[in-house]
Structure 1
Amino acid sequence: MEPLNITKDIIQRQIKERNTLQFERRYHVIDPFIKRLGLECELEGHSGCVNCLEWNEKGDLLASGSDDQHAILWDPFSCKKLLTMHTGHTANIFTVKFLPHSNDRTLITGAADSKVHVHDLTVKETVHMFGEHTNRVKRIAAAPMWPNTFWSAAEDGTVRQYDLRESSKRSQVLVDLTEYCGQHVEAKCLAINPQNNNYLAVGASGPFVRVYDIRMIHNHRKAAKQSSIPGLHTFCDRYKSVPDGAVQYYVAGHLPVKQPDYNNRLRVLVATYVAFNPDGTELLVNMGGEQVYLFDLTNKQKPYTFLLPKKCHSSTGELLSVCIICGI
């Protein structure tokens, strides 16, 4: 590694905006800093594997979920356990999330029992239970712009949206991946863009990561509902829940070509984690069974077109295609 000259780098950062990201990466992860890292403390309280952690908005509280079906609230800076509650789940908890603008009062959990539960931490009670998913719930996402709304991704291949203001207390399917990827697809993770809460990234089984514009999906469904005639349903009314232009695909350029080889070796490609950077310009993807990728969302490359397999031919025999935004 070349010697650091922080004075020179600060000047370059001021006069060249494109050097900002390089400066941050260089001085946040350097050898002297790494060598100073050490174990601060251990937080003990769960009786099963800890599967998920989540910070509150201020960054002074930490929530954890475990195979023991309990959620624990911690003060990690004083290494204290503040609250323990049974969540009402009957299987392993895979995801926990604070609801924004709830003053850290509302915690949401998702578990292997296919349920999503909403808890009031001040009274240690489960106030809402949602059971529409039909397979394990792997991730919960929330957005500051919508303090009463959150989303869940599950291994039934669907992403559901919840609005706690709805009197019916039922969720709706926002995205159904089984319509496009087959009945065996599993949604594994999701994240909301922190700068523009209208964009939702979804990772699932397969090499592609999808970023949806939630506004376009809702507007499309509202328009379709208003224009539909009772008793008359067209192909588009029934099946086209995600309109054209509402989703962009991101994939490492070599993965679509290599996917058959991975399948032959029983090495499944699954996006197990997705996260936006703080300014929403980059998307980090952990591709289970492969590598970790960082996609630049602002400088997109020209889309490539991949022909789908023969089994995906339309009823007229016309070969369908899909446009992919390659990040690498």
Structure 2
Amino acid sequence: MGDRKNTFLQTMHGLRNKEIYGTPLPQYKQEAIGHRLAHSQSLMKKDLRGHFGCVNAIEFSSNGKFIASGGDDRRLLLWDVGQSMFDSENPAKNPDVIDTLHISNINSCCFDCLDGKIATGGNDGQVIIHDFHVHQSTAVYGLSDAVYCLSADPQNSTILATANDEGKAQIIDTRLSMDTIPFVLADLDSAMHSIMYNPMDPRLLVTANSKHGIGLWDIRMPLKCLNYKSTIQNCMSVRFNSLGDKIMALRRRSGPVLYDVGKPSPIYEFDYSTYYNACTLKSCSFAGL
């Protein structure tokens, strides 16, 4: 048995102990977070500067070699992680700038599953496809309203899902002509803020809606969904974990909530006295599994 002060707790185990044994919050923080950071041999950070305004979208490529980012300056920047983070001889390495045709803020971006193309969505209602290798826009899809979120099919490099202000979740197939009407998966009466493919089963997608909360959709049964229960239905962000069996959502004026995919009631509702989100759209993400 090691010294208790050097014991690292997995987050879910720490939460369980806190609930069952009444572990004081400061002690839980120290066990689950403080020691882990203090003893980490790989933790580092570096500011990547290149945008001229708010950065609204950021995504890693699936191989982890690149980062794409977009924001209020309407530019898509492509960062080489190795050069940007670890090249001590060239610490000021600038990102590659990919010209876009957006006329308003970029809200979302994503790599396709082969890391060959990057899609961006913006307040102008456009979804634009950019070729990763030639750094140019290759296709523009006009939707009816602001696009808040994009998600790439984890198995098909030509398919992506969109969530927009009109309340629709739509599927775009880039093999079809740009004037083809996208497939409508969901059509609600309030803004659709977030969408994500299940990483293990792309027939399933999860959405976050500003009025109807969290919904699980099956591509084979459009316009029908499983709604997850929550004390607050106004939802702004939703994510699957990497195994596709858990869902985390972020609600307005409330903390994050965690679900098992097959159960409509939450596993855990997170709460912290000083945490509050109300005005702007925020996002959530799993760390690790």
Q: In which range does the TM-score fall when normalised by the shorter chain?
A: 0.7 to 0.9
Shift of residue 215, structure 1, vs aligned partner = 2.0
Aligned pairs, number: 243
The answer to whether the 8 Å contact 2:172/2:183 transfers is: no
What is residue 215 of structure 1 aligned with on the other side? 220
In the other structure, the counterpart of 1:96 is 109
1:294 is paired with a residue whose SS is strand
C-alpha displacement at 1:5, in angstroms? 8.2
Match in the other structure for 1:286: 250
Return the alpha-carbon distance in structure 2 between the equivalents of residues 112 and 206 of structure 1. 20
Which residue number in structure 1 is paired with residue 175 of structure 2? 165
Q: Does 1:115 align with 2:126?
A: yes
Deviation at 1:85, TM superposition (A): 1.8
1:115 touches 1:129 (CA, 8 Å); kept in 2? yes
Which residue does the alignment assign to 1:44? 49
1:178-217 correspondence to structure 2 within 5 Å: 178=188, 182=189, 185-206=190-211, 208-217=213-222
The 3 A distance-change label for structure 1 pair 251 and 43 is: same
Identity of aligned residues (%): 25
Is the contact made by 1:142 and 1:151 (CA closer than 8 Å) also made in structure 2? Answer: yes
Aligned to 2:151: 141
Q: Distance in 2 between matches of 1:121 and 1:176?
A: 30
Contact persistence 1:71–1:85 (CA under 8 A) = yes
Structure 1 position 32 matched with structure 2 position 40: no
1:69-91 Cα distance to aligned partner (Å, 9 max, x none): 10011123432434112211000
Offset from partner CA, 1:298-326 (integer Å, 9 cap, x none): 4x2xxxxxxxxxxxxxxxxxxxxxxxx32
Contact kept in structure 1, 2:161 and 2:196, CA below 8 Å = no
User: Are the aligned partners of 2:153 and 2:161 in contact in 1 as well (CA < 8 Å)?
Assistant: no
Q: Which protein is richer in helix relative to its size?
A: 1
CA distance in 1, matches of 2:58, 2:191: 22
The residue aligned with 2:260 is: 296
Task: Please identify the structure whose Cα radius of gyration is greater.
Answer: 1
Q: Which residue of 1 aligns with 2:226?
A: 248
Q: Give the C-alpha shift of residue 3 in structure 1.
A: 2.9
1:29–1:6 CA distance, 2 compared to 1 (3 A): closer
Secondary structure of 1:81's aligned partner: coil
CA distance in structure 2 between the partners assigned to 1:169 and 1:99 by the alignment: 21
Aligned counterpart, 2:4? 3
What is the CA RMSD across the aligned residues, in angstroms?
3.0
| Aligned residue runs from structure 1 range 231-246, under 5 A | 242=223, 246=224
Where structure 1 has 5 or more consecutive residues not aligned to the other structure, the ranges are 10-18, 218-241, 256-268, 301-324
Q: Which residue of 1 is the match for residue 166 of structure 2?
A: 156
Which deviates more from structure 2 when the two are superposed, residues 79-88 or residues 140-149?
79-88
Give the TM-score normalised by the residue count of structure 2.
0.75
**Which consecutive unaligned segments of at least 5 residues does structure 2 have?**
17-27, 85-92, 268-289
